[in-house]
Amino acid sequence: MSEVKTVALTIDGRSVRAVEGTNVLRAAAAAGIDIPHFCYHPAFEAEGSCRMCLVEIEGLPKLELACATVVREGLIVRTATDLVRDARRAVLAFLLAEHPLDCPICDQAGECKLQDYYDAHGRFPGRFVEPREKRDKLIAIGRGLILDRERCILCTRCVRYLRRITGTGELGVFERGVRAEIGTYEDARVDNDYSGNLVDICPVGAITDTDFRFKTRTWFLERRPSVCPHCARGCAVIVESVTGYPLGPGERRVFRIRAGENPAVNGHWICDLGRAGRRDIDEGRLTAVTARAATGGTVPWQKAVADLAARIRAVPGPERPARIAVVLNSLMTCQELALARRIFTEALGLGGVFIADPPPGSGDGFLLTAERVPNARGVLEAGFAPRLPDLEALARSTEVLIVFGPYLAGNFPAGTAAPALSPIAVKYLFTSRAVPDDGLADVAVPVAVPAERSGTYINVDGLRQTFRQSVAPPRGVPSEREVLVGLAHGLGLNVGEPDAG
Ranges of each domain in the chain: 6-80, 95-209, 225-282, 290-490
Phi-psi region of 241 (alpha: psi -120 to 50; beta: other; left: phi over 0): beta
Check: CB of residue 27 under 8 Å from CB of residue 11.
Answer: yes
Which residues have a Cβ under 8 Å from the Cβ of 358 and sit 6 or more positions away? Answer: 372, 373, 407, 410
Cα 417 off chain centre by: 32
Residue 225 has pLDDT above 60, yes or no: yes
Instruction: Tell me which residue of 340, 341, 303, 291 sits closest to 441, measured CA to CA.
Output: 291
- The topology (CATH level 3) of 6-80 is Ubiquitin-like (UB roll) (3.10.20)
- Look at residue 454 and give its three-state secondary structure: coil
Q: What is the pLDDT of residue 294?
A: 56
Question: Are the beta carbons of 426 and 310 closer than 8 angstroms?
Answer: no
d(CA 84, CA 62): 10
pLDDT digits (tens, 9 = 90+) for 395-452: 999 999 999 999 999 999 998 999 999 999 999 999 999 887 777 899 999 999 999 9
**Radius of gyration of the chain measured on its C-alpha atoms:** 28
CA end-to-end span of the chain: 31
Is 95-209 in the same CATH topology as 6-80? no
- Main-chain phi, psi angles of 412, to 5 degrees: -130, 160
344-355 residue pLDDT tens: 999 999 989 999
Q: Is 308 helix (H, G, I), strand (E, B) or coil?
A: helix
* Average pLDDT value for residue range 286-302: 80
User: Which is nearest to 254 in space by CA: 280, 228, 278, 287?
Assistant: 278
Weakest-pLDDT range from 143-157, 286-300, 370-384, 476-490: 286-300
Does 3.40.50.740 match the CATH number of domain 290-490? Answer: yes
CA separation, residue 75 to residues 3, 60, 65, 305, 401 (Å): 22, 11, 14, 66, 70
b/e burial code for range 207-239 (CB count within 10 A of at least 16 → b): bbbebbeeebebebbeebebbbbbbbbbbbbbb
Contacts of 338 (CB under 8 A, 6+ apart): 382, 498
Topology (CATH level 3) of domain 95-209: Alpha-Beta Plaits (3.30.70)
Q: What mean pLDDT comes out for the span 35-44? A: 96
Report the relative pairing of strands 324-328 and 400-404 from DSSP bridges.
parallel
- Which of 9-18, 89-98, 236-245, 292-301 is least confident? 292-301
Lowest mean pLDDT among 179-183, 439-443, 488-492: 439-443
Mean pLDDT for the chain overall: 93
Is the CB of residue 196 less than 8 Å from the CB of residue 272? Answer: yes
Helix 480-490, helix 301-314: angle, nearest 10: 50
β-pairing, 252-259 vs 207-209, is unpaired
